[in-house]
Amino acid sequence: MMSSLVIYFSRSGENYFGGVLKNIEKGNTEVIAEYIQELDGADLFKVEPAVEYPADYMECIDVAKKEQQSGARPEIKETLNDISEYDTVYIGFPNWWGTLPMPMWTQLESLDFTGKVVKPFVTHEGSGFGSSQRDLARLCEGAEIKKGLSIPGASVYDVKDQVESWINE
């Protein structure tokens, strides 16, 4: 039986939307992850940093930039150790400084993607995937990486049909 998993990182709280800071109860990437769960029956695994990012958006992106510049692998609350039972792995994240948030590196580096189909999705404010697809090719060595889905954060509540089409591609 084909089974699928969504590994994702998402941040609620103060977020940036087309030039304006807004507080959101649920992170944009989480909204998409839940669509995938509903449409594909996928299991969900949320990657959460052991130490929360600052609630203030500007402080958060500052911390995120420093982590990326230093190649940090922040500790995560829970580590997924085995994805052997899954055929398809959806990997979702916001674009932070052109790639995946560093806690995703912490998680993905610990997994064996040999023979898996990986379908990446990103939420962003105009930057698309940045260099994350190149980084995913390294992080998910041995996987067949399919065409990704890029979604502007401000439109996550309007793209369920688009997500469904992408799942079925």
Question: Over the stretch 72-124, which tens digit does the pLDDT of each residue have?
Answer: 999 999 999 999 999 999 999 999 999 999 999 999 999 999 999 999 999 99
Domain count, the chain: 1
Dihedral sign, Cα of residue 44, residue 50, residue 54, residue 59: negative
| CA dist., res. 140 & res. 109, Å (int) | 8
What separation, in Å, do the N-terminal and C-terminal C-alpha atoms of the chain show? Answer: 19
pLDDT score of 1 more than 60? no
Predicted confidence at residue 16, as pLDDT, reads: 80
Question: Quick check: pTM over 0.85?
Answer: yes
For residue 93, the domain's CATH number is 3.40.50.360
| CA dist., res. 40 & res. 48, Å (int) | 23
Residue 53, token pair as written in the block: 């990012």
Domain assignment of residue 141, given as a range: 4-168
Residue 52, token pair as written in the block: 């929360």
